[in-house]
Amino acid sequence: MQQTYDVLVLGSGAAGLTAALSAAVEGARVVVLEKADLLGGTTALSGGTVWIPGNQPARAAGIADSCESGLRYLLSLSHGLILPELAEALVQRGPRYIDFIHEHTELRFQLVEGYPDYHPERPGGLPRGGRSIEVGLMDLADLGPWADRIAGVPSHLLIRETPLGGGTGVLPAPLLAERSRAGAEGLGRGLVAGLLAACLRRGVEIRTSTPGRRLLTDDGAVVGVEIGTDAGAGTVSAGSASTGTPVADVVLARSVVLATGGFEYDPVLVRDFLRGPVTRPLGAPTNTGDGLRMAMRVGARLGNMREAWWAPAVSVPGVRRDGGANGLLASRDRALPGSIMVNGHGRRFANEAANYNAFGGAFHQLDAARFEYPNLPAYLVFDQSVVDRFGVLGGGPGAPVPAWVARADSLGALAAALGLPAGQVEATAAAFNAHARAGTDPDFGRGESAFDRFPGGRTLDPDTPSSTLGPVETAPFYGVRVESSLLGTKGGPRTDPDGRVLDVDGDAIPGLYAAGNVMASPTGMVYGGAGATLAVAGIWGMSAGRAAVHDPKSATSQERR
């Protein structure tokens, strides 16, 4: 059976659902095909924060910022890898994206107050925040049968209430109970829920367990997608919760939007393209580079292939609902006074408080003499004062440290338990402690940036280095292995600002669009601030969905690079 649509979207994360909504708003008949049996991809697992320079909530709060200043900031970090016209489109379209979301969904963006940019001292950077925003709470119960079809686990917190966003992670019990009763959720699941509800209202058809396999072409133009034969079970049609709806082997469409996320779960693509080792990804396990392969088969030009939204991660026992291995983004814990990180030689190797994307670079440093990656794996070491004052690994202040974390009464014993050289770990901590007491880190400059001081600064004084520098000295001591991870890869087919996929000569491939982590990111190796990845997904989704409806099929890109 063949079915024909105006726009076919592959993937149901932020990029895919935004593209679908955008196309539907333009009056198109739209279908979203999702490979997994749950919707939302990595987006549903995320914090749902979006990074937009010159955004409306910041302006309302009296924060001085502009798109131009955001562009200056991004370009100051480029190292020659950012294409200025794409970065310009990103910042110029950010406020328009907020208007789009506010006009066509029930989502409402709010400021995550005080969240600094990731490199706030760069030209155009904001040390006191203003660019990171999040959607408010969404009532998932309104989604009816779709409510339990979104990946991730329910959380009734906003990002600014979590330790990552500057809160404690602890809500008054009556408030938590009220939100839980109402099914009110924020973060990534709230974002997905709001987009999904808007898509359904516009008549977008959504099918789960339906992977796109290959693009269908006719005289060089993309005209549809061959879909997986494992589709069917768990398939849900828009407006009903019926399962097992028969699906076609081929779905025809005037335009196809690739929004299939990154290639982080495909070991071959990871080996062939990424700049350094990755030992465990954090996102949706169905992100295996399918869209990348589809685009390569029809001659797409590739870009930014070595890059990812890098992150250090801690493995947690157990498996998630979507089949991915449990894990935690190791972000705030590294930056708190009373914690350090060491490598396998027992030595510190970077500013632990640096943002997670930049920290990924420390994992990829090669020791030229030994020809080894000395910082892989690494270990987070912290003392009881961190547990008592701030809480660790997602827990609030004083919350018990999980049993799978190593613990010992002395640093030497902890090092032995972790398989590290005890004498070196003790010496490393002693040197760090002496400097920390004086409020300096001559080795790695920890505490010099406002970003370093943000996590501890919510409890302590954000203007002094002691909000991140504090001696590791209060027994018991704890340690856990930290791995090289990522939130998603950011290389793929090159697009123009409207998401048109370009071929190897720089011409648009008629009928083919891409948005989100599947495409070559407009930010090179830069992660500007909390929410920068969802901003790319949302803005390119919005633009690609619109272009997919209005482009004449023979359109070619003006952009030849």
Residues that bind ligand FAD (CB under 6 A): 10-16, 33-36, 41-43, 45-49, 211-212, 259-261, 282-284, 286-287, 290, 309, 329, 487-488, 516-517, 531-534, 537
Tell me the CA end-to-end span of the chain in Å, nearest whole number: 41
Residue 171's alpha-carbon distances to 137, 180, 404, in angstroms, are 14, 12, 26
Give the nearer residue to ligand FAD in terms of CB position, either 111 or 415. Answer: 111
Q: Which residues contact 93 (CB under 8 A, 6 or more apart)?
A: 497, 539, 542, 543
Query: What whole-number distance in Å separates Cα of residue 142 and Cα of residue 148?
Result: 11
Structure tokens at 217: 């072409």
Give the nearer residue to ligand FAD in terms of CB position, either 418 or 518. Answer: 518
Q: Which residues pair with 319 in a beta bridge?
A: 325
Query: What whole-number distance in Å separates Cα of residue 474 and Cα of residue 480?
Result: 17
Q: Count CB-CB contacts under 10 A for residue 103.
A: 9
Residue 541's alpha-carbon distances to 196, 207, 270, 466, in angstroms, are 14, 18, 25, 42
Give the nearer residue to ligand FAD in terms of CB position, either 47 or 163. Answer: 47
Give the nearer residue to ligand FAD in terms of CB position, either 358 or 425. Answer: 358
Q: What share of the chain is helix, strand, coil (3-state, %, to 5)?
A: 30, 20, 45
Give the nearer residue to ligand FAD in terms of CB position, either 36 or 420. Answer: 36
Give the nearer residue to ligand FAD in terms of CB position, either 116 or 211. Answer: 211
Task: State the nearest-atom distance from the C-beta of 385 to ligand FAD, in Å.
Answer: 26
Task: State the nearest-atom distance from the C-beta of 137 to ligand FAD, in Å.
Answer: 15
Which residue has 């997608």 as its token pair?
Answer: 225
Query: What whole-number distance in Å separates Cα of residue 340 and Cα of residue 360?
Result: 16
Enumerate helices (H) and strands (E) in the chain, giving the number of each.
15, 21
Q: Indicate the angle between helix axes 14-25 and 532-550, nearest 10 degrees.
A: 30
Query: What whole-number distance in Å separates Cα of residue 344 and Cα of residue 331?
Result: 20
Q: Which residues contact 422 (CB under 8 A, 6 or more apart)?
A: 346, 411, 412, 413, 415, 416
Task: State the nearest-atom distance from the C-beta of 331 to ligand FAD, in Å.
Answer: 9
Task: State the nearest-atom distance from the C-beta of 486 to ligand FAD, in Å.
Answer: 8
In three-state secondary structure terms, 235 is coil
Query: What whole-number distance in Å separates Cα of residue 445 and Cα of residue 493?
Result: 37
Q: Indicate the angle between helix axes 422-437 and 411-418, nearest 10 degrees.
A: 130
Give the nearer residue to ligand FAD in terms of CB position, either 125 or 499. Answer: 499
Task: State the nearest-atom distance from the C-beta of 482 to ligand FAD, in Å.
Answer: 15
Task: State the nearest-atom distance from the C-beta of 358 to ligand FAD, in Å.
Answer: 15
Which residue has 């613990």 as its token pair?
Answer: 407
Task: State the nearest-atom distance from the C-beta of 346 to ligand FAD, in Å.
Answer: 29
Task: State the nearest-atom distance from the C-beta of 536 to ligand FAD, in Å.
Answer: 8
Give the nearer residue to ligand FAD in terms of CB position, either 393 or 425. Answer: 393
> Which amino acid is located at 534 in the chain?
L
Give the nearer residue to ligand FAD in terms of CB position, either 278 or 436. Answer: 278
In three-state secondary structure terms, 156 is coil
Q: Which residues pair with 92 in a beta bridge?
A: none
Q: Which residue is nearest to ligand FAD (CB)?
A: 13
Give the nearer residue to ligand FAD in terms of CB position, either 309 or 432. Answer: 309
Give the nearer residue to ligand FAD in terms of CB position, either 292 or 420. Answer: 292
Give the nearer residue to ligand FAD in terms of CB position, either 22 or 43. Answer: 43
Task: State the nearest-atom distance from the C-beta of 522 to ligand FAD, in Å.
Answer: 13
C-alpha closest to that of 327 among 302, 301, 356: 356
The full DSSP string for 51-72 is E-TT-HHHHHTT----HHHHHH
In three-state secondary structure terms, 14 is helix
Structure tokens at 369: 């003499």
